[in-house]
A and B are shown apart, each in its own frame.
Chain A
Amino acid sequence: MSAADIVASAALIAGAAMSLAAGVAALRFPDTSARIHAATKPQVLGIVLLMIGLGIRLGTVAIVGELLLIVVLQFLTAPVSAHLAVRAAHRAPADDAPAEPEPASGDDRNDPRSTGAE
């Protein structure tokens, strides 16, 4: 096993660990927003690490171009889909999400919690 193979293996395993982190986060985090947040971020880094590993392992110009295409597509599309998912989740809070506090009215003179003293 050459040194390049060892570096490529390290990158591949790190990318797989990132995918594992995304999966575990999607399973374990408490509410929808946290799950979306934690599931969509490591997956981009994982893909990039896997592409680095594959590029080191194969190392021809044509293949590196194709890998760059996948990485650029991932960088362009992952934030968009995450944003769409978060927006859809935000407009309809999930059952298990903590209830949002009442919005401040801006006029707290009648608020029994305010003492009136500054």
Chain B
Amino acid sequence: MTVTMIVAGALFALGALAAAARLVRGPTPIDRAVALDVLLAIVVGVIVLLAAVYASTTTLVIAVVVALLGFVGSAGLAVLLQRERS
């Protein structure tokens, strides 16, 4: 399980770096919203990975909340961006 944690953690870290780069660069606000969505999905993935490695279930509630929060964030941002333009 240690090897799993290192390999999967490295993959998550690379993905998070790429998404964060798009979050910084992204020419439109929608790009940034999507990059935030990806970043939050990676946060959920890291929480689940740690729960699997340590065989503990206490942090799974945080994963549920973050998954919902990611939806509310990106959907709300998309609606807001569209509304302020029209």
Residues from chain B with a CB closer than 8 A to the CB of A89 are 28, 30
Residues of B in contact, count (CB < 8 Å):
50
Quick check: A1 and B11 within 8 Å, CB to CB? no
The residue from A8, A39, A88 contacting B35, defined by CB atoms under 8 A apart: A39
Chain A, range 1-57, C-beta contacts under 8 Å to B: 1, 5, 8-9, 12-13, 15-17, 19-24, 26-28, 32, 35-36, 39-40, 43, 46-47, 50-51, 53-54, 57
Instruction: Kindly list chain B residues whose C-beta atoms are within 8 Å of the C-beta of A40.
Output: 34, 37-38
- Total interface residues on A, CB under 8 Å, equals 53
A115: shortest Cβ distance to chain B, in Å?
41
Task: Check B4–A84 contact: CB distance below 8 A.
Answer: no
Q: Decide yes or no whether A108 CB sits under 8 A from chain B.
A: no
A27→B68 contact, CB < 8 A: no
A to B CB contacts below 8 Å, 28 in the list: A12-B49, A16-B49, A19-B15, A19-B38, A19-B42, A20-B12, A23-B15, A23-B16, A26-B35, A27-B22, A32-B31, A39-B37, A46-B45, A50-B44, A50-B45, A50-B52, A53-B48, A66-B60, A70-B60, A77-B67, A77-B68, A78-B71, A81-B70, A84-B74, A85-B30, A85-B33, A85-B34, A92-B28
Binding site for A on B (CB under 8 A): 1, 3-4, 7-9, 11-12, 14-19, 21-22, 27-28, 30-31, 33-35, 37-38, 41-42, 44-45, 48-49, 51-52, 55, 57, 60-61, 63-64, 67-68, 70-71, 74-75, 78-79, 81-82, 85
